[in-house]
Amino acid sequence: MTGKSLCLAILSLVLIGGCQPAGAASFDCAKAETPDEKAICADRSLNDQDVEMSVLYTQLKPLLGMGARGDMEDAQVTWLKRRESCGGDRACLGKAYEERVMQLRGGFEALAKRGPF
């Protein structure tokens, strides 16, 4: 992937993320039950991080081969358990999201290095 095509891919992710309704987490906040979900719905920054993580995950997943896709799904399940273990601790949730977003961005960078497409 060239620098230009990588920039276009990132721009498309930003635009897709920008299409999310304001205050909309990647899940239905009206059905939030767990402390982590309630904290995400109550905090705009965490909400935005949740949307960003969801967009990155959704966009990266179909670009991966079957084995890597399965590994990514397993990592997401593990990460969701970690997020849940934070409960309503917003600092813990923020750190969890920062790390997961970095991992997912790293997945795009790894794909770009393997190019050309």
Least confident of 10-14, 22-26, 43-47, 81-85: 10-14
d(CA 47, CA 41): 6
For 64-107, write each residue's pLDDT tens digit: 988 999 999 999 999 999 999 999 999 999 999 999 999 999 99
User: Percent of the chain having pLDDT more than 70?
Assistant: 78
At 117 the pLDDT is 59
Letter for the amino acid at 58?
T
At 114 the pLDDT is 83
Letter for the amino acid at 16?
I
At 10 the pLDDT is 53
DSSP 21: P
Helix axes 90-114, 3-18, angle to 10 degrees: 140
At 21 the pLDDT is 42
